[in-house]
Amino acid sequence: MNSRTFTKSDQEFVWEEVKLADVCELISRGITPSYTEKDGVVVINQKCIRDNMVNLDLSRLTNPQKRKIPEHKYLKSYDVLINSTGVGTLGRVAQVKSINDKMTVDSHVTIVRGNEKVSPEFLGYNLFMQQPNIENLAEGSTGQTELSRIRLGETIRVQLPPINEQKVIAQIFSALDQKIETNNLINNKLEEMAQAIFKQWFVDFEFPNDNGNPYKTSGGEMVKSELGMIPKNWEVTTFRSFTSNVLGGDWGKENEQGNYKKAVYCLRGADIPEVREGRRGALPKRYILEKNHINKKLTSGDIVVEISGGSPTQSTGRITYINDLMLSKYDEDFVCTNFCRAITLEDPKYMYYFYFYWKMLYDLNVFFQFENGTTGIKNLDINSFLDRFKIVSPGIELVKRFDNLIRPIVDMIQINGNENLKLSKTRDTLLPKLMSGEIRVRLEN
């Protein structure tokens, strides 16, 4: 154990360097689940852990009657979770700050639970800062990379200030994360609001009539169609009718070489949710042929769809729009990968109508019907979907009214996302400085 003494006015503050194991009452892998579809205990897996957050939407359930869960492997508030297997996922850290129902983790995740020597939130932020160090502890061959809990506890070091200073440091980062979480909650509500408006107008046919009243319930004229009763002057069509072109993507080269000289930002399927909400920082920069940049450059009003990579529990078809706010952030040199397709619309005013229609179908798992490929890797037959799937078209005037209503909501989502990106950068810049004592915090009595 090492220690350092910081002097401030007439006070001395002793920081100790300790092994992670010295400040933990538990470092343990999770369970081997007995999965069930209902009435089980939530099991957090590696996919749930990213950016110091736990996404329970990606969790599953285990049946504790079939396979008993040891009491110490039920999560407690402020447990730190570390992905412990797999190339590309090993080392990710997240902290569970509140537990509402019983939950655990699977055997690919390690639970780290602090003892009385450490503020639990301080420990969480410290380990989040040390993700690169944890990643370097990997053992095993490619594809079988493992993180030893013993090596984790013995190798990772924590700079430990007095407990009151730990708490103040943790409060600073907690306040930043709380603002980020608040923005995320607002964005979720805004997205739900926009989707609800779309459904009200174009599924329930309750768009405002000329008098501002809901069309269908106010006696608006309905006519028969192959999709059922639809408003007069609407028509049944396909997504293809709104489309002028479908472009493949380009992953290019990691470094400039030969004729691959044009530097671009490249949007991947995994980036789609983050880039839509403005949460994604630097997309990967790649180098492509100049002619491909000319032919495949994304412009405002385009739609990007992920066509490859679906799993038995997740359909392909994730979608985002490309608007002016996105383009300004990436200097307009912007393409998608070859695992996506870029759809150019005949009229960019249809962009949000197209997006929210497609998003509704994605949430309904419609795209499973149009997938092909092996069990592990699914591919969306996007051209077949564009040509065959029947939808309703309300005409450009109503779409323009929808666009005018939705655009400010979408802009606010991206503004909140951009603020979160700045807050995250501030947090990540401060973390090593506060955790090392390079910057000190003011301590009240």
Whether 122 is in a domain gets the answer: yes
Judgement on whether residues 232 and 146 belong to the same structural domain of the protein: no
Q: Assign residue 353 a region: left if phi > 0, alpha if psi is -120 to 50, beta otherwise?
A: alpha
Out of 158, 176, 198, pick the residue that ends a domain: 158
Whether 405 is in a domain gets the answer: no
Judgement on whether residues 200 and 279 belong to the same structural domain of the protein: yes
Judgement on whether residues 148 and 259 belong to the same structural domain of the protein: no
Whether 426 is in a domain gets the answer: no
Whether 11 is in a domain gets the answer: no
Q: Quick check: helix, strand or coil at residue 375?
A: coil
Out of 360, 375, 398, pick the residue that ends a domain: 398
Judgement on whether residues 217 and 345 belong to the same structural domain of the protein: yes
Instruction: Note whether 59 and 49 are within 8 A (CB).
Output: no
In this structure, the chain runs to a length of: 445
Whether 390 is in a domain gets the answer: yes
Judgement on whether residues 213 and 134 belong to the same structural domain of the protein: no
Whether 338 is in a domain gets the answer: yes
Domain with 269 in it: 187-398
pTM exceeds 0.75 for this model: yes
In angstroms and rounded to an integer, the radius of gyration of the C-alpha atoms of the chain is: 26
Judgement on whether residues 199 and 314 belong to the same structural domain of the protein: yes
Judgement on whether residues 91 and 141 belong to the same structural domain of the protein: yes
Q: How many CB atoms lie within 10 A of CB 430?
A: 18
Structure tokens at 160: 């430990």
Judgement on whether residues 196 and 339 belong to the same structural domain of the protein: yes
Judgement on whether residues 195 and 334 belong to the same structural domain of the protein: yes
Instruction: Note whether 111 and 71 are within 8 A (CB).
Output: no
Per-residue pLDDT of the chain (445 residues; tens, 9 = 90+): 555 555 444 445 688 999 999 999 999 999 999 999 888 999 999 989 987 889 888 899 999 999 999 999 999 999 999 999 877 789 999 999 989 899 999 999 999 999 999 999 999 999 999 999 998 888 765 445 788 899 999 999 999 999 999 999 999 999 999 999 999 899 999 999 999 999 999 999 999 999 999 999 999 999 999 999 999 999 999 999 999 999 999 999 999 999 999 999 899 887 887 776 665 556 888 999 999 999 999 999 999 999 986 544 456 899 999 988 878 776 668 899 999 999 999 999 999 999 999 999 999 989 988 988 655 577 899 999 999 999 999 999 999 999 999 999 999 998 998 899 899 999 999 999 999 888 888 776 5
Whether 169 is in a domain gets the answer: no
Domains in the chain, number: 2
**CATH assignment of the domain containing 101:** 3.90.220.20
The predicted structure's pLDDT at residue 144:
54
Burial zone of 116 (CB within 10 Å; 0-12 exposed, 13-18 middle, 19+ buried): exposed
Judgement on whether residues 125 and 224 belong to the same structural domain of the protein: no
